[in-house]
Amino acid sequence: MKTGNAKKGLFSRLRKTGDALSGGLAALMGSGQGIFDDAVFEALEDQLIMTDLGVTASGEVVAALRRHAASKRIENLPALKNLLSHELAAILGKVQRSIDIQSQPGTPFVILMVGVNGVGKTTTAAKLAAFFQRSERSVMLAACDTFRAAAIEQLQTWGERLEIPVIAQAHGADAAAVAHDAMKAAQARKIDVLIVDSAGRQHVNVDLMAQLQKIKRVIGAVDMAAPQETLLVVDGGTGQNALAQVAAFEDAVGPTGVCVTKLDGTARGGIVVALARQCALTIPFIGVGETLEDLQPFDADRFARALVGIDS
Ligand SMILES: Nc1nc2c(ncn2[C@@H]2O[C@H](COP(=O)(O)OP(=O)(O)OP(=O)(O)O)[C@@H](O)[C@H]2O)c(=O)[nH]1
Ligand SMILES: [Mg+2]
């Protein structure tokens, strides 16, 4: 993916949130004529909460803007957007992290995908495979969702499109046994990156967590250092429930990072700020569409600008 396109892409992909915030800000500027009184600040805080930024982060951001406005007049809409994006970027910067693939021949870098049902685990696994392929890494997929009937075929279809091997067993097989097979196969074939898909159920489902723990144990038994990453996938449109999902998975399987998907389909992209503010986990990638190219390494500054509707 070319960087220039990616830059343009993010603004248009986050357009729903960008338009929502930017429209709200324009209305505020109109009403306050650049003079920000309490009523305008309160309205701004409401706008931020509406995009799912969360009450805490919205309050902090508005407090910072208040401090700024006290010392300097905010002249126009671009100035307000700039200030706001700057404040958001300060929060988001803390969770930006790129995944550094360190692998030796015969010791694959293992990424385990986890998350509740329907959030985009399998699609994100395929997008990640394409991402690492673009940097000349050999990739293998493991179909450890043996729970949902069509899950194995879904991953195999991605594997065919990407021309990468998919290790699978029959529907209903022990997911941990598939993980074990995949580890052995990836080692034998000297694969750089093994991406392990898993089944999704609700985060309160005890069986799901037990199965994920078993998958992790089996992977770790083959290579103590693996899985190097356990990525929790959350749907950006789920709202504040995403925070509950993070808490449940943190307790059960200790994710190393969060991938927030479907940010193209929601006007509530502020959830990423809420996650950044309230969770200890980093955000290496975001999903902004259904195709293989629609996965982007998370860039705090660019994301903050797109969120407030700045096209840059
Ligand atoms: N618009 C949009 N759709 C996405 C994105 N990521 C995934 N999807 C779609 O979301 C739907 C579910 O994706 P899956 O990858 O099957 O989700 P999953 O978590 O593996 O689902 P289960 O295996 O049933 O738990 C599919 O239709 C995907 O195309 C995204 O970033 N944007
Ligand atoms: Mg799936």
* Ligand 1 atom nearest 287 alpha carbon: 31
Which one of the ligands is nearest to 120 CA?
1
Provide mean pLDDT across the span 82-106.
Answer: 91
- Please tell me whether the overall predicted TM-score, pTM, comes out greater than 0.85 for this model: yes
Calculated CA dihedral for residues 292, 298, 299, 303, nearest 10 degrees: 80
C-alpha–C-alpha distance, residues 230 and 110, integer Å:
8
Report the separation in Å between the CA atom of 44 and the middle of ligand 1, taken as the mean of its atom positions: 32
Provide mean pLDDT across the span 196-206.
Answer: 85
Q: Which residue has tokens 């994710």?
A: 255
From residue 172, give the alpha-carbon distance in Å to each of 123, 141, 203: 21, 18, 20
Model confidence pLDDT, tens digit, residues 211-267: 999 999 999 999 999 999 999 999 999 988 999 999 999 999 999 999 999 999 999
Token pair listed for 210:
């037990």
Provide mean pLDDT across the span 179-200.
Answer: 97
User: Is 109-300 in the same CATH topology as 3-95?
Assistant: no
Which one of the ligands is nearest to 201 CA?
1
* Ligand 1 atom nearest 116 alpha carbon: 25
pLDDT the model gives residue 227: 98
**Least reliable range by pLDDT among 42-51, 53-62, 65-74, 76-85:** 65-74
For domain 109-300, the question of CATH label 3.40.50.300 is answered with yes
**Third-level CATH fold of 3-95:** Four Helix Bundle (Hemerythrin (Met), subunit A) (1.20.120)
**Least reliable range by pLDDT among 94-108, 109-123, 185-199, 256-270:** 94-108
Q: What is the mean pLDDT of the chain?
A: 91
Residue 77 pLDDT greater than 90, yes or no:
no
C-alpha–C-alpha distance, residues 84 and 273, integer Å:
12
**Beta-strand relationship, 109-114 and 193-198:** parallel
Q: Verify whether ligand 1 is closer than 6 Å to residue 121 (CB atom).
A: yes
Among 14, 112, 123, residue to substitute to test ligand 1 (most atoms within 8 Å of Cβ) = 123
> What H or E segment, with its residue span, contains residue 85?
helix 77-92
Model confidence pLDDT, tens digit, residues 154-175: 999 999 999 999 999 999 999 9
- Write out the DSSP string of 200-250: ---TT-HHHHHHHHHHHHHHHHH-TT--SEEEEEEEGGGTTHHHHHHHHHH
Q: Whose CA is nearest to atom 1 of ligand 1?
A: 289
266 and 236 Cβ atoms separated by less than 8 Å:
yes
Token pair listed for 264:
């193209």
* Ligand 1 atom nearest 127 alpha carbon: 6
Cβ burial, residue 134 (10 Å; 0-12/13-18/19+): exposed
Report the separation in Å between the CA atom of 64 and the middle of ligand 1, taken as the mean of its atom positions: 36
Q: Verify whether ligand 1 is closer than 6 Å to residue 52 (CB atom).
A: no
Taking the domains of the chain in order of start, what are their residue ranges?
A: 3-95, 109-300
Token pair listed for 310:
């700045």
> What H or E segment, with its residue span, contains residue 198?
strand 193-198
Which one of the ligands is nearest to 121 CA?
1
Query: Which are the contacts of 109, defined by CB distance < 8 A and separation ≥ 6?
Result: 101, 102, 103, 192, 193, 194, 226, 228, 229
